[in-house]
Structure formats: structure tokens, C-alpha cells
Amino acid sequence: MMSRALALAAKGRYTTSPNPTVGCVIAFGDDIVGEGFTRPFGGNHAEIEALNQVSEATNSCVYVTLEPCSHEGRTGPCTTALIKAGVSRVVIACEDPNPLVAGSGIKLLQEAGIEVECGLLEDQARELNKGFIKRHEHGLPWVLIKMAASMDGRTAMASGQSQWVTTPASRKDVQRLRAGSCAIITGIGTQLMDDPSLTVKITGEELGVYDPLIQPLRVVVDSQLQMQASARMLVQPGKTLIATLGGDSQRQKAQALIDAGADVVFLPANGHHIDLQALLVELAARNCNRVMVEAGAGLAGAFIAEGLLDELVCYWAPKLFGSDARPMFDLAINTIDAHLALSIKDIRQIGEDLRITLYPDKDY
């Protein structure tokens, strides 16, 4: 039953942000009588969707992937709905780290005489909402770095030419990663070189989603405000945030970009560059659960060097670019012992390319 609830929860992974994606199953014994998953932000939670399918839930068992909410938000508390429905048992995969819930949902259910079990398939449930959980437990979003490289680890020719390293199948798969992200971060070098739109170029139907997709926030790390008001991303659907350093000289430049539709945030420096931790704190404050870094070797390497990487997704093309081509990361690692250890989570072929998903061995 919980496996089914997790499968339902996965259906909302592109549409529920900033809320978590949750699945719910209501059953009498082995018979499922209602099920649902969280609708887009402001819509019904999974428990309400499932209850709406059931004419009589008295003495039923509810399986839900995240602790039911206990507070008034855009919707009423799910705990109240479950208590009123007369369910006798609630099985929860993992507790909700949101301080507005954080165990209070479980407590209210128990006080109403409902049997509560917590921890069934917890690891899978946490993986599904890893961004939401990290934001509430650590105050930072989940950081995924995406790279595309040749077999000799090169992302572009020495000239900067990089279109295209990988096949159309891999590039389409990247759109799936974008669709699951709250923000896409790039650097000013990539913006000036490629003038990208940084939008999701895949339909909801292709993702198996029929609720409206959310265009991620586009974030450009631009310490000197070199970005032009004519940048292509400024006329795309969704919002663009430009992160820069403070200073009176930047104010006039910033206003031109604001007039063109951008949002500009002034952040502290870390050395001569923007403090990336401060940027992530800013994005967490904007309710970003998961962010995706699509950038060159400098910015991508800086996220890794500062210990901010949570997930690395590499698309490897069966090509060789040679030693003069550009590397994946600018990282000052001078000895074998100083290496960054990674754990392989998934390997699969995408078209002619190979996609490898890795997590760093935290803490690093």
C-alpha cells in the first residue's frame, strides 16, 4: 500500500512546489477504496483527494507518504479531515520537517484515538521530497549540478563551442531535470556566450503530468552586472533573478535590468565572488526546494569547492575532445588524498549517451 502511495506521490513531483509531493491510499484490508496525490500549490492535499473518492471511511487504514498537516494554510488541516472521517489507523512514511507540522500532526491523530505508525519506506519517501526536507532541516535547497561531457571529461572546445556535446535524447532528459527544479542557476559567462532561455522545453503530457508545469526561476550569478537588458531569458515565461554584489556603481545597471523584467538581489562577497551559500539562503527564502546548476567549469566548481553539492548528474557522450578542450570543473585538488568521494546512485543509457547520477559522500 505504501509503495502505491509513493507511486502516486511521484505524479506530483513537477507541479506541487513549494509544497512537498505526497501520495495517499485509503484501504479496508487489502482493498483500496480511495487514493490521491497533492495537487498544484493551493489545491487539495493528497489526503483530501483520497477522501473525496470514499463515501465511507470509518475504520479504514490510511497510508500516506508524509505526515498529515495540522495547520491552516491555503487548505484546511488534513489531520482534521482524517479525524472527522473516522479512520482508525494511519501509516506514515516519514515525518514532516516543516516547523508548522514537525510531529504535531501525529500527535493530533493519536490524541483522537487513531493508531499511528511511522517509518514505513521512509528512505524512499525522503528521497522523493529531498529538496523540501533539506530546506526545512538545513535552510538550504537541494543542489543538483548537471554536466554534459565527452569521454575524456571535456565540456566544450577551447573556443567555448559546446553545441552539442550530447544527443537530442540526453538534452530532452535534461528538460525533465529542469521541470523538477524550482530554480536553474547559471553564470554570467554562460549567459553571455549562449544567451540561453533556461526554460522547460517539454510538455506536461510528455512527463505524464496534466496539471500546469511551473517554469523554474532563472538565476544568473553576475557579480559585475554584465548582463544586458536584451537577454533572451528576460522575455521568457517565468521570472529571472540576477544575483550580484552590492555597491553604488551597480544601482544604475540594476535598474535597467529591473525595467527589462528582471529581479536583482545584492549579496555579500566571498573573496572576489558572490557568496554562493548566501545565494542558496536567498533561494530557500523564496521557497525553492531544489535548484539545478547549469553552468561552466568555474561556477560549477565553486559550488563543489564550497561543499554545496548534493547531487551530480553527468551525461557522457561517446566522443573525445582532446586535452585542449575545457574541463568539467575548475577545482584545485592537488593530491589523491584530497579527492572528493562520490557514490554512484544510478547509471543508465540515454540514447547514445550514458547518464550517471552521483551523490557526494557527505560531509565534505
| Residue 330 is assigned to a ligand binding site | no
| Residue 78 is assigned to a ligand binding site | yes
Neighbour-count burial for 313-348, b at 16+ CB within 10 Å, e otherwise = bbbbbeeebeeebbbbbebeeeeeeeeeebeeeeee
Report CA-CA distances (Å) from 229 to 94, 221, 237, 255.
45, 15, 16, 10
Report CA-CA distances (Å) from 165 to 214, 328, 330, 341, 361.
27, 12, 19, 25, 28
Check residue 122 and give left, alpha or beta (phi > 0: left; psi -120 to 50: alpha).
Answer: alpha
| Residue 119 is assigned to a ligand binding site | no
Please state, in angstroms and rounded to a whole number, the distance separating the CA atoms of residues 189 and 193: 6
Phi, psi values for residue 194, rounded to 5°: -105, -15
| Residue 294 is assigned to a ligand binding site | yes
| Residue 288 is assigned to a ligand binding site | no
| Residue 296 is assigned to a ligand binding site | yes
| Residue 190 is assigned to a ligand binding site | yes
| Residue 249 is assigned to a ligand binding site | no
| Residue 162 is assigned to a ligand binding site | yes
Query: Smallest Cα–Cα separation from 312: which of 142, 148, 140, 147?
Result: 147
DSSP 15: T
Tell me the three cell numbers of residue 256. 535597467
| Residue 269 is assigned to a ligand binding site | no
| Residue 299 is assigned to a ligand binding site | yes
| Residue 69 is assigned to a ligand binding site | yes
| Residue 17 is assigned to a ligand binding site | no
Please state, in angstroms and rounded to a whole number, the distance separating the CA atoms of residues 309 and 294: 13
Give the position of cell 572576489. Answer: 272
Tell me the three cell numbers of residue 279. 545565494
- Catalytic-residue membership of 47: yes
| Residue 297 is assigned to a ligand binding site | yes
Kindly name the residue from 47, 67, 95, 311 that is annotated as catalytic: 47
Tell me the three cell numbers of residue 1. 500500500
| Residue 45 is assigned to a ligand binding site | yes
Please state, in angstroms and rounded to a whole number, the distance separating the CA atoms of residues 59 and 298: 58
| Residue 178 is assigned to a ligand binding site | yes
Please state, in angstroms and rounded to a whole number, the distance separating the CA atoms of residues 255 and 247: 13
| Residue 298 is assigned to a ligand binding site | yes
**Cis status of the peptide bond prior to 99, with omega within 30 of 0:** no
Helical packing angle, 104-111 and 78-85, nearest 10°: 20
Please state, in angstroms and rounded to a whole number, the distance separating the CA atoms of residues 348 and 247: 47
Annotated binding site for substrate: 162, 178, 198, 294
Annotated binding site: 45, 69, 78, 148, 162, 164, 178, 190, 194, 198, 223, 294, 296-302
Supply the residues annotated as catalytic. 47
Annotated binding site for Zn(2+): 45, 69, 78
Annotated binding site for NADP(+): 148, 164, 190, 194, 223, 296-302
